Amino acid sequence: MTTIPFFPPDLFEGDRKVMLDLIREIGTAPEQKFILGEHTRAFERMLREATGAADVVACGSGTSALGLVLRAMEIGPGDEVVVPAFGCAPLASAVLEVGAQPVFADVDRHAMVLDPEDAAARITHRTKAILPAHMFSIMADMPRFAELAAERGLRLLEDSAVAQGAVLRDTPAGLWGEAGVYSFVQVKSFGMPGEGGAVVTRDAELGRRVRVLRNHGQNGQRFVHEVVGTNSRFDEIQAAFQTYRFAGFAERLERRARIAERYTDRLAGLPGVLPPPPGREGRCYYVYCLQAERRDELRDFLAARGIGSHVYYPKPLPQQSAFEPHAPADDEWPNAQHAADRILALPIYPHLSDGEVEFIADAVREHCEVADVH
Ligand SMILES: Cc1ncc(COP(=O)(O)O)c(C=O)c1O
């Protein structure tokens, strides 16, 4: 039977020799430097030049990048941060970890990213920041959030963890806010075989503070601690590997966008499924998420044909037991619930063949046509 996994085990197969050589080279180098060395500096410099940021600070994960920015912005107890009600856990947990309160706002029904009007309605005198996230394949409405932050005197932090490489009105994802973040977990647009992230910012002073915080509060001088920091450092082998792989990033993104376009062409107008809004502006096809009326049946139907799919995310954040105590019990996020009940991600990694893309689209079409008859 055909098998098209959602998480392909051969994602880095083409670069295996490079990785093995780097392990030996860095592992046996006389300086024995495995974190925050010359490779991390080169990687940061490369991303800074590619984005036009004032600073890029590589760190332990996308989650810790969010936490470092919140701390560098001095957001803490008594402060509120408006976050999307539908998305990944760190949107809420990073805010709670600094002692601030996440305030959940609903998402747009189709795009499934933070709805600016609902976010605006939830701003109070305690609100310090807005934290929109680019989710699935679509950037949040950053021009509107930038306006809103300016009008209301709020800080704007951009969760661009999954959107590296996306551009909206000529501004790269990550640079709309005072700071953005990237995640390099393998499934992300610029994923790698391991854990890592980065803070990207237009504000050099904010970057400096993040740099100090990520390495135990040290400001370049070992064992001199300027502030209470944490360990969120970047791996030298991964930095060298990512620097090498950056040359193919634009091409891989383009392949993802073409696969997305093909899915949308084949699936638009079908009964019972809604493809994401089409287009290239502000898009980064980290995943390709449909909304399907009979989502679980579709997932099983695809699985029976050997096609892996994935539910990002089965519940809105305020309905998760971790975050329920931090959300008003009588509140509702109808679009977040609508999305959680319907969302299904199809495989979209760059080395999917055209034949595999057609096979997946055929299977979705077949399910919708059969389901429509019954
Ligand atoms: C939107 C978003 N923000 C933040 C993160 C956290 O990134 P990481 O897994 O590198 O901690 C993720 C990853 O799941 C994400 O999807």
Question: Are both 176 and 258 inside the same structural domain?
Answer: no
In the numeric block, the tokens 């595999």 are attached to: 356
Q: CATH code at 351?
A: 3.90.1150.10
**Predicted confidence band at 89 (pLDDT cuts at 50, 70, 90)?**
very high
Number of domains in the chain: 2
Task: Write the pLDDT tens digit of every residue in 253-312.
Answer: 999 999 999 999 999 999 999 999 999 999 999 999 999 999 999 999 999 999 999 999
- Whole-number Å distance, alpha carbon 356 to ligand 1 midpoint, is 27
Q: Is residue 8 part of a domain?
A: no
Residue that terminates a domain, selected from 226, 247, 268: 247
93 and 38 in one domain? yes
Residue 3 lies in a domain: no
CA angle, 119 then 120 then 121, to 5°: 90
Task: Name the nearest CA neighbour of 275 among 300, 188, 315, 265.
Answer: 265
Q: Is the pLDDT of residue 374 over 80?
A: no
Give the residue, 35 or 1, on which the prediction is more confident: 35
Ramachandran angles phi, psi of 263, nearest 5°? -55, -45
Residues with CB under 6 A from ligand 1: 61-63, 87-88, 90, 133, 135, 159, 161-162, 183, 185, 197
Q: What is the mean pLDDT of residues 211-215?
A: 97
Find the 28 Cα to ligand 1 centroid distance in Å.
32
Residue found under tokens 């803070």: 199
- Say if residue 308 is in the same domain as residue 222: no
Q: Is residue 22 domain-resident?
A: yes
Please name the residue whose Cα sits nearest to atom 3 of ligand 1.
161
- Please state the atom number of ligand 1 nearest to the C-alpha of residue 65: 11
- Does residue 318 contact residue 104 with C-beta atoms inside 8 Å? yes
Element containing residue 128 per DSSP (H, E): strand 127-130
Residues 6+ apart with CB under 8 A from 103: 80, 81, 82, 83, 122, 124, 127
- Considering the domain architecture, whether residues 253 and 242 belong to the same structural domain is answered as no
Whole-number pLDDT of residue 99: 98
Same domain (yes/no): 142, 242? yes
Report the pLDDT value the prediction gives residue 220, as an integer from 0 to 100.
Answer: 85
pLDDT mean across residues, the chain: 96
263 three-class SS: helix
Give 184 Cα–ligand 1 centroid separation in angstroms: 9
Provide mean pLDDT across the span 221-239. 96
pLDDT > 80? residue 349: yes
Select from 214, 247, 280 the last residue of a domain.
247
Note whether residue 154 is domain-resident: yes
Ligand 1 atom with least separation from CA of 134:
1
Residues 186 and 267 in one domain: no
Residue 373 has pLDDT above 60, yes or no: no
pLDDT tens digits, one per residue of 28-64:
999 999 999 999 999 999 999 999 999 999 999 999 9
CATH of the domain at 144: 3.40.640.10
Distance 133 CA to ligand 1 centre (A): 10
Q: Which residues sit opposite 105 in a β-bridge? A: 84
Which residue's CA is the nearest one to ligand 1's atom 14? 88
Q: How far is CA 232 from the centre of its chain?
A: 18
107, 97: one domain:
yes
Please name the residue whose Cα sits nearest to atom 1 of ligand 1: 161
pLDDT of residue 101 exceeding 60: yes
Domain ranges, residue 284: 249-373
Same domain, 223 and 109: yes
Residue 7 lies in a domain: no
C-alpha of residue 370 to centroid of ligand 1, in Å: 36
Q: Find the length of the chain.
A: 374
Q: Is residue 5 part of a domain?
A: no
Indicate if 211 and 356 belong to the same structural domain: no
Give the per-residue pLDDT at 370.
78
Pairing of strands 127-130, 80-84: parallel
**How remote is the CA of residue 37 from the centroid of ligand 1, in Å?**
24
Residues 220 and 346 in one domain: no
Pocket test for ligand 1, best of 137, 183, 310, 317 (most atoms within 8 A of CB): 183
Asked whether 306 and 4 are in contact (CB, 8 A), the reply is: yes
Q: Is 6 part of any domain?
A: no
**Residue from 7, 162, 232, 285 to probe ligand 1 pocket by mutation (most atoms less than 8 Å from CB):** 162
